[in-house]
Amino acid sequence: MATHFTLPLSPSKPFKNSTFFTKNPSLHFKKPLSITSFQSPQPTAAAAVQTFWQWLSDQDVVSAKTPAKPGLVPQGLGLVAQRDISRNEVVLEIPKKLWINPDVVAASEIGNVCSGLKPWVSVALFLIREKFKEDSTWRPYLDVLPESTNSTIFWSEEELAELQGTQLLSTTLGVKSYLQREFLKVEEEILVPHKQLFTSPVTLDDFSWAFGILRSRSFSRLRGENLVLIPLADLVNHSPDITIEDGVYEIKGAGLFSRDLIFSLRSPISLKAGEQVLIQYNLNMSNAELAVDYGFIEAKSDRNMYTLTLQISESDPFFGDKLDIAETNGLGERADFDIVLGNPLPPTLLPYLRLVALGGTDVFLLESIFRNTIWGHLELPVSRANEELICRVVRDACKSALSGYHTTIEEDEKLKRKELNPRLEIAVGIRAEEKKVLQQIDEIFKQRQSELDELEYYQERRLKDLGLVGEQGEIIFWESK
């Protein structure tokens, strides 16, 4: 008899380059969706921008000749070209004295109490503390930071209800749960014992705000810097039309004889005066990841994916053998496979599926004699029973996941044609595209089910190798003389 297994299709995915991974708490939805705008009133924003620019000027960071300047744009604030800018031209150079990173925290009044914390937590506490201080030297920068973004971590229960059934909801709740645990730990170890260091009580909302600022504005892949906020440069917005990612920004020396460092930002495209300086944030992020980090999604199909999760059950009588084979081939007890809309299945998905489902008379492949060759066998159909099982289980899991949404693709596509506010636009886009990927997966395995009688399995391949199959596919027997 074949081994039975389950297929979880709604994991809370960890963020790339982070350690976030939690099980999902339940969430009770009470009211219909209502979304409000978080963009600051223009007069207030304009005044804050002017103060910020003057602060940068006083620091000798910018001047009238600086190619780009903060301005009000459709996204809120952005960098606007003050003159024509050539492709790859440097538009900003920000010295290290204006960076906010763990080194700045270590040198501050809360440095000693933050020394054992995760880097992002220490920087988050620094931001919160400086925000509370009216006379903070960072006040002009803090005043241009948003109070919230459209990141799903800031959505209300009513707004999250529009993500019902999606993996994005699962991920968002996992992040919120992670933040709550981190806050409670910080509250116990830092905030309560050292109240004198903070002028106002720090709340979970404050902590979440700082986390959101860091996720959406910090620069990554910088030489020697894993977490850094760079005022002014972090106003640069994203464009889906820009496909150049590398070389747009870097850290370099301030001069031939200087040991100081500067952050240099280049424009990846040519610009006319008055146009916005834009960059590509990350070519490899899915729409769900963009929604959590930045609060927007793109229309490109390759941003839409669904994660299919497989796991070797510990109750499987061949758990040890299967785990050994999986680890030998770069996988593990659990494996996540990102299925991208319009793309083929990941190459290791079918072999891993067949391994997890391996049972009955097929378990001879788990014997040590096959250990070095079994993955090659798993890349092709093993037996009709094994192939039929993986098709049935995957299709059942897809149907189950599709039943969790409260709208159909057709209803979502109709909503897309309407004028939606940003958060509802994200919700509708995410759930519509997730369903399309699920339908794609289901169709692939439905097609495979229809071809079960035509596939060639291990036994047939083995007989061919031994020369025991004729030209018409018949098995050849020899009689002893």
For residue 457, say whether it is annotated as part of any ligand binding site: no
* 3-state DSSP of 97-156: HHCECHHHHHCCCCHHHHCCCCHHHHHHHHHHHHHHCCCCCCHHHHCCCCCCCCCHHHCC
139 residue type, one letter: R
Q: Any binding-site annotation on 281?
A: yes
Active site includes 306? no
Q: How far apart are the first and last CA of the chain?
A: 38
Residue 129 assigned as binding residue? no
Strand partners, 475: 469
Q: Is 377 annotated as a binding residue?
A: no
> Tokens in use for 206?
């404050």
Under 8 Å between Cβ of 42 and 72: yes
Q: 302: annotated binding-site residue?
A: no
**Collapsing DSSP states into helix, strand and coil, what is residue 329?**
coil
Q: Which of 178, 150, 90 is nearest to 423 (CA)?
A: 150
Instruction: List the 237-238 sheet strands across, edge first.
Output: 68-73, 76-81, 276-279, 237-238
Residue 354 annotated as lining a ligand binding site: no
The 3-state DSSP class for residue 307 equals strand
| Bridge partners, 279 (sequence order) | 238
Residue 386 CB partners (closer than 8 Å, separation 6+)? 2, 354, 357, 358, 359, 362
C-alpha 21/C-alpha 322 separation (Å) is 25
CA 187 to CA 201: how far, in whole Å?
10
Report the alpha-carbon angle 476-480-481, nearest 5.
125
Cβ-Cβ contacts under 8 Å for 320 (sequence gap 6 or more): none
Strand partners, 149: none
Helix H or strand E segment including 339: strand 334-340
Give the whole-angstrom CA distance, residue 123 versus residue 138. 13
Q: Single out the catalytic residue among 141, 281, 306, 405.
A: 281
Residue written as token pair 């997966």? 441
- Rg (the chain; Cα; Å): 28
Cα gap 276→410, rounded to integer Å: 36
24 in a labelled binding site: no
**249: annotated binding-site residue?**
yes
Catalytic residues, which ones? 281
Extract the annotated binding site: 217, 221, 234, 237-238, 249, 281, 294
Extract the annotated binding site for S-adenosyl-L-methionine: 217, 237-238
Extract the annotated binding site for substrate: 217, 221, 234, 249, 281, 294
